[in-house]
Amino acid sequence: MARINLLPWREQLREQRKQQFVATLIGMVMLGAALIFIGDQVFSSLINEQLARNSFIQRENQALDARIKEIQELRKKRQELIERTKVIQDLQGNRPITSHVFDQLARTIPEGVYFTAVRLTGKHISIEGAAESNNLISSLMRRQDASDWLAAPSLAEVKALELDGQEASQFKLTVQQTKPHEDEAGQGAQQ
């Protein structure tokens, strides 16, 4: 005899497929949510690590900036000390030169000429004074020009004036301070 299945197998099959689909859909949604959660955690962790590295780099940069500033201040102080040392060495080296220059000024003054003011500015010497005649001023300039320690005397001004009932000349001149040649200075030091 023939067997006839009167059970609603098609509906059961449809219901079974529907349940499989819903289960698969729920599984996929859960898997997607899990992947999104894991991805979010991974990216959050990466972002936090990068922020920590950035913070560390900023702290190190600030420390380096402070050290750079300290180094710049030390370099500035070093340069100031070098400049001070140079000035002191120049002063120490120029001490005998200044005495030689003033000695030469005293030796080049002819009788009848006297200085009222002498100013030393760098290598330039400004001299103000009075002389009994213009010839004595010329003699002074020739003597200064012939000196090893003085050079290029330049007369800036001459005025006639009366001094103790006699005619005199008031003058202003400039002269440059020089050093004698090394061989002459060496011979002078040996004498």
Helix, strand, or coil (residue 178): coil
176-186: per-residue pLDDT in tens?
Answer: 878 776 434 44
Instruction: Provide the whole-model pTM.
Output: 0.46
Q: What is the pLDDT of residues 117-161, one digit of tens each?
A: 888 887 788 888 888 888 888 888 888 788 877 788 888 888 887
pLDDT-derived band at 190, boundaries 50, 70, 90: very low
The residue-averaged pLDDT of 14-43 equals 95
Question: Could you tell me if residue 137 is left (phi over 0), alpha (psi between -120 and 50 degrees) or otherwise beta?
Answer: alpha
Residue closest to 103 by CA, chosen among 188, 172, 190, 182: 188
Contacts of 180 (CB under 8 A, 6+ apart): 148, 149, 188
Please state, in angstroms and rounded to a whole number, the distance separating the CA atoms of residues 104 and 33: 103
30-73: per-residue pLDDT in tens?
Answer: 999 999 999 999 999 999 999 999 999 999 999 999 999 999 99
pLDDT at 187 over 80: no
Torsion angle of C-alpha atoms 40, 43, 45, 49, degrees rounded to 10: -160
**For residues 74-91, average pLDDT:** 90
* pLDDT at residue number 21: 96
Question: Which residue, among 121, 172, 179, has the nearest Cα to 150 in the 3D structure?
Answer: 179
Measured between alpha carbons, how far is residue 38 from residues 32, 43, 76 in Å? 10, 9, 56
Residue 179, pLDDT score: 75
